């Protein structure tokens, strides 16, 4: 694969590597354009494996600057899959969460998605196969466990399904093979590269949307705000979620921020004030998760409180409900009436018709 690299391309990448990898005193940040060009060379395999691995670990050690993340976003927007909304569609929520999955807490977002969709809220999500360094359970596995197979669909089919169902799932192996080529490097360096931080802020959707990005550490959130501003993301929410995901905890206050046209508003949400507090459900295995997920859709079981809290918050933040309590009430009625289950059945029927 790398025999086609010419000396000019190798030297071009060496410049970027020297710039960020020269040590604490002499290393320099890349410009937005330089960061974009460096990632293009990586994705197109125009640098050697040694150069790419060195770049990833050097960039991680010195931490990427906001304009560098914005530059990487430029490249993903340019080379990655692209989705658009129809004129009559509502503004979608685009969820960004770690590609390497979950391993400690039970994911809520597939169920939250069903409640939001049942309330006519469009959604865009993305994910891939199990990925280093965590190799946690993935979005695709979770959806498949409850009967929805979102792999082996063309981008055209995903776009058509978005128009029909208000739901789109970008599956990296199918829709962004250039990005898939980076997995081996993630495994070999044994650490999340800066690209993983950028992935939390990327969406395939073009146009007006509400981007929701998970984080763990405050410096990550601060960098995300600045990166989003540079990248021109007008409306976003950052969430200190479970394992860096967009799933809101019920065991503690939820630290979130709403960013509207570069104006930031800190929102601290307390589940105990809405009778939604408790222990965050732990991850055990996919078999038990499937049982608990289906129980939640039947208005019972250990995931139900977390589901109503998450769906209620996102219904409120997206503007689908007037207050947070109204959002929680909507979630409860959507589940108890069976509409959330009907939404899943409708998606499964669509998926089977497309695959057949």
Q: 3-state class of 169 per DSSP? A: strand
**2 pLDDT above the threshold of 50:** no
| Position 144 confidence tier, pLDDT thresholds 50, 70, 90 | very high
Cα–Cα distance, 174 to 196 (Å, whole number):
19
**347 pLDDT above the threshold of 90:** yes
Query: Would you say the C-alpha torsion 211, 329, 103, 137 has a positive or negative sign?
Result: negative
The residue extents of the domains of the chain are 2-62, 93-346
Q: Are 94 and 58 in contact (CB under 8 A)?
A: no
Q: Of the given ranges (5-19, 238-252, 272-286), which has the lowest mean pLDDT? A: 5-19
| Position 26 confidence tier, pLDDT thresholds 50, 70, 90 | confident
Per-residue pLDDT tens over the stretch 64-90: 999 999 999 999 999 999 999 999 999
pTM of this structure: 0.94
Q: Are 77 and 71 in contact (CB under 8 A)?
A: no
Cα–Cα distance, 220 to 94 (Å, whole number):
19
Q: Of the given ranges (80-84, 149-153, 183-187), which has the lowest mean pLDDT? A: 183-187
Task: Give the residue among 75, 91, 93, 84 at the shortest CA–CA distance from 231.
Answer: 75
Tokens coding 127 = 């994910």
**261 pLDDT above the threshold of 90:** no
Per-residue pLDDT tens over the stretch 295-316: 999 999 999 999 999 999 999 9
**Chosen CATH of 93-346 out of 2.40.50.140, 3.30.300.30, 3.40.1030.10, 2.30.30.30:** 3.40.1030.10
Cα–Cα distance, 64 to 86 (Å, whole number):
35
Cα–Cα distance, 31 to 197 (Å, whole number):
17
Residue with tokens 């993903």: 76
Q: What is the pLDDT of residue 3?
A: 45
Q: What is the pLDDT of residue 27?
A: 78
């Amino acid at each position: 694969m790398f025999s086609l690299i010419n000396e000019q391309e190798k030297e071009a990448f060496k410049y970027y590597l020297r710039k960020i990898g020269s040590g604490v005193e002499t290393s320099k940040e890349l410009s937005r354009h330089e960061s974009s060009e460096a990632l293009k060379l990586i994705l197109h395999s125009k640098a050697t494996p040694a150069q790419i691995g060195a770049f990833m670990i050097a960039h991680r050690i010195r931490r990427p600057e906001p304009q560098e993340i914005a530059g990487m976003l430029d490249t993903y927007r340019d080379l990655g899959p692209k989705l658009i909304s129809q004129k009559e569609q509502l503004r979608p929520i685009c969820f960004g969460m770690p590609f390497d999955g979950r391993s400690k807490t039970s994911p809520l977002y597939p169920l939250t998605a069903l409640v939001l969709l049942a309330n006519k809220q469009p959604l865009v999500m993305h994910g891939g196969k199990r990925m280093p360094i965590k190799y946690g359970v993935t979005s695709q596995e979770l959806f498949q466990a409850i009967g929805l197979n979102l792999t082996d669909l063309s981008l055209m089919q995903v776009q058509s399904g978005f128009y029909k169902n208000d739901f789109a799932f970008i599956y990296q192996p199918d829709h962004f093979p250039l990005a898939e080529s980076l997995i081996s490097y993630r495994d070999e360096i044994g650490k999340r590269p800066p690209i993983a931080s950028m992935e939390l802020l990327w969406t395939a959707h073009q146009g007006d949307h509400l981007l929701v990005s998970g984080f763990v550490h405050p410096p990550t959130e601060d960098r995300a705000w600045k990166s989003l501003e540079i990248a021109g993301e007008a409306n976003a929410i950052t969430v200190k979620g479970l394992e860096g995901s967009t799933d809101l905890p019920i065991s503690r206050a939820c630290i979130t921020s709403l960013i509207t046209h570069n104006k930031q508003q800190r929102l601290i949400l307390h589940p105990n004030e809405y009778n939604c507090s408790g222990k965050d459900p732990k991850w055990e295995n996919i078999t038990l998760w499937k049982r608990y997920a289906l129980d939640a859709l039947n208005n019972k079981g250990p995931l139900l409180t977390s589901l109503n809290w998450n769906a209620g918050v996102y219904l409120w933040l997206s503007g689908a409900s007037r207050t947070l309590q109204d959002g929680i009430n909507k979630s409860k009625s959507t589940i108890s009436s069976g509409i959330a289950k009907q939404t899943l059945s409708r998606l499964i029927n669509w998926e089977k018709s497309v695959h057949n």
